[in-house]
Structure 1
Amino acid sequence: MAKRIVLLNGSPRKNGNTELLANAFIKGAKDSGNTVTSFHVGRMKISGCMDCKYCHSHPGECVQKDDMQEIYNALYRADILVFASPVYWFGMTAHIKSAIDRMYAASYKEMPITSTALLAVYEDTNTDTIKPTISQYKAMIQYLGWKDCGIITQSEVLNKGDIEGKQSLTDAENLGKSIQ
């Protein structure tokens, strides 16, 4: 049965390594008959959560009216959520983190999401650099009760296109294909 997938790309860089990795995943997912809605949150206007508690009395609704509204609409129809981000200071970008924090409003209206995946790229040659990002991702999905479909990471990519020819692109496409 086809799945409805939402992908949040936290990179502000157009056509960068994160986007190439995300596109490989999207290709595989679509090849398997799934629908994918992709948001480039790194280029959207999404403010951080204000902890105003408006969502407590208005289930699933946030007082802030910005680009996150479009994402909420997709999240309330999604089966799978994929996070794609470059690593900035040992974690996902502030752009994707703002979207994640704003998902707090969704905790008052059930999302049908059951599974998730992480796609992450980073410049460093030290593979310990990715560990905090993976740790945050795993803690988040454990709290939400979501199943991990897979984690694809790629080190040593800084400049646009550095990911070309890397195994991670094939791995991301295969991960997308495996979702059915």
Structure 2
Amino acid sequence: MSKRIVVINGSPRKNGNTDLLIDAFIQGAESGGNSVTKFNVGRMKITGCTDCKYCFTHLGECAIKDNMQEIYHALYNADMLVLASPVYWHGMTGQIKSVIDRMNVGTAKPMPITAAALLSVYGDTDTEAVEPTISHYKAIIKYMGWMDFGIVTQSEVMEKGDIKGLSSLAAARDLGKSIQ
């Protein structure tokens, strides 16, 4: 049975290494008959959660009316979530973090998501630089009770296109293909 997948791209850089990794994942996922919706949140207007608790008294509706409304619609129709972000200061970007925080509405009105994956790139040669990002992702899926479908990371990709020809693109494509 095909899955409805939402990909949240936290990179503000258009056509960068994160985009290329996502594109490989999407190619694999769609080849298996899955439908994929991608949001480039690094270029959308999404403010952070204000902890106003409006969502708790309004069945998961958020008081903030911005581009997050499009994402909510997709998330409430998704089977799987893919978080994709470059590593900035040993973590996900602020843009994707705002989306994650705003997903707090899911505690008031649960989303149908049952699985997740992480795609992450970083320029550092130290492979431990991505560990806080992976740890954050694992904490999210544990809290939400989602199955970890996989993690694909790539180090040493600083400039646009540095990821081209690297094995992480095949790994992302294979991850996408493996979704049944």
Would you say same fold, with TM above 0.5?
A: yes
Q: How many residues align?
A: 180
Matches within 5 A, 1:124-163: 124-163=124-163
Any idea what the Cα deviations from partners look like across 1:68-107, whole Å, max 9, x if unmatched? 0000000001000000000000000000000000000121
Q: Percent same amino acid among aligned pairs?
A: 67
**Residue in structure 1 matched with residue 114 of structure 2 by the alignment:** 114
1:50-80 deviations in Å (ceiling 9; x for gaps): 0001001001110000000000000001000
TM-score by length of 1: 0.99
| Partner Cα separation in structure 2 for residue 112 and residue 132 of structure 1 | 27
Q: Aligned equivalents of 1:67 and 1:14: distance in 2?
A: 18
1:87 corresponding residue in structure 2: 87
CA distance in 2 between partners of 1:59 and 1:70 (Å): 17
Structure 2: state its 5+ residue gaps: none
Provide the residue aligned with 1:54 in structure 2.
54
Report the residue type matching 2:164 in the other structure.
E
> What is the match of residue 169 of structure 2?
169
User: 1:61, 1:106 within 8 Å by CA — same for their partners in 2?
Assistant: no
The DSSP-based 3-state class of the residue aligned with 2:149 is strand
User: Could you say what secondary structure the match of 2:151 adopts?
Assistant: strand
Match for residue 28 of structure 1? Answer: 28
Residue identity in the other structure for 2:103: M
What secondary structure is seen at the aligned counterpart in 2 of 1:23?
helix
Pairwise CA RMSD: 0.4
Distance (whole Å) between structure 1 residues aligned to residue 60 and residue 27 of structure 2: 31
Which consecutive segments of 4 or more residues in structure 1 shift more than 6 A? none
TM-score by length of 2: 0.99
1:32–1:179 contact (8 Å) kept in structure 2: yes
